[in-house]
Structure 1
């Protein structure tokens, strides 16, 4: 990951932001950014059902920081099973989202930089495919297409034309059919002790 982040940092050194791994101190800033960018209903989306109670895939929670180190953009990828293949075996994949940029920093290439860094790191870590729900005209430039998800469904309402996929390994999603299900590591919950 360090090599990917170093190359992204070098490329954007002339800009006023850097791409970095998310850390525990970013949680409040990230959640506030997502609330502003995605609106009050963001937790009701089908994608959220796949993320709820899970942690992002290892090394795939990224933020953009301004020159002062404040979080101005975020993207996370989550482990899912993308249905099954022709042999009935589950198809591991990643679900990207949400991607969000602080409105005051839109138009600076932050979203694109986060996407490129996330895709490169997912590929470097050996993942086979990334899925997302989003605007096709924006995500097609990164290689995401609805054709890749035509036999897959989300767990809840979704717009077919906005459900997109990208093979990181050639043909990874070919033949994948069925419902997306969460497969990532569960969020650790503190244990409650009963009073004696």
Structure 2
């Protein structure tokens, strides 16, 4: 059985170790990291998954970002990581589903991510929803996806995606 818990300061070393294990070296050079620098992840939405042995088997983080000249708020999802020996068990999907519900309940209007549309489409993310966004370079624009968390969530979301602070 898995337990989904909010990520805390004490989880940080384990989460960073999982991210290092799950992603290629140099992950900090990705454009999405530009948006995260100096900004803490959103408390209550950044979560971890622990198994029966209390081992960290998954993690997800959300970051606040601003969009366009008006600085409209949105969330940046990522990274989502699952320990390599536990991939394929639905842990990542469960983390995404749980946290998207929490994000909607918290009043966030929309979520942006960089990822594969065929995977994220089942959670409501599309490239079409992100067409009006100018994501920091370098990024493959075909991988910038978005989804609304409320009916008008994407109505005013257009322009440059930039850090929260």
Interval containing the TM-score (normalised by the shorter chain): over 0.9
Distance, in Å, in 2 between the alignment partners of 1:175 and 1:63 is: 31
Residue of structure 1 in register with 2:84 after alignment = 103
8 Å Cα contact 1:19-1:113 kept in structure 2: no
Q: For the aligned residues, what is the CA RMSD?
A: 1.2
Q: Is 1:149 the equivalent of 2:134?
A: no
Residue of structure 2 in register with 1:68 after alignment = 53
TM-score by length of 1: 0.81
Residue of structure 2 in register with 1:82 after alignment = 67
Stretch deviating more after TM superposition (172-181 or 95-104): 172-181
1:49 equivalent among 15, 25, 34: 34
Distance, in Å, in 2 between the alignment partners of 1:54 and 1:71 is: 23
8 Å Cα contact 2:6-2:43 kept in structure 1: no
Partner secondary structure for residue 33 of structure 1? helix
Q: How big is the shift at 1:175?
A: 4.3
Structure 1 runs, 4 residues or longer, greater than 6 Å off: none
Gaps of 5+ in 1: 1-15, 185-196
Q: Is 1:30 the equivalent of 2:11?
A: no
Partner secondary structure for residue 98 of structure 1? strand
2:148 equivalent among 164, 167, 170: 167
Residue of structure 2 in register with 1:17 after alignment = 2
- Cα gap change, 1:159 to 1:118, in 2 (>3 Å): same
Distance, in Å, in 1 between the alignment partners of 2:156 and 2:39 is: 27
Partner secondary structure for residue 92 of structure 2? helix
Distance, in Å, in 1 between the alignment partners of 2:18 and 2:92 is: 13
- In the alignment of these two chains, the number of paired residues is 165
Distance, in Å, in 2 between the alignment partners of 1:69 and 1:52 is: 29
Larger radius of gyration: 1
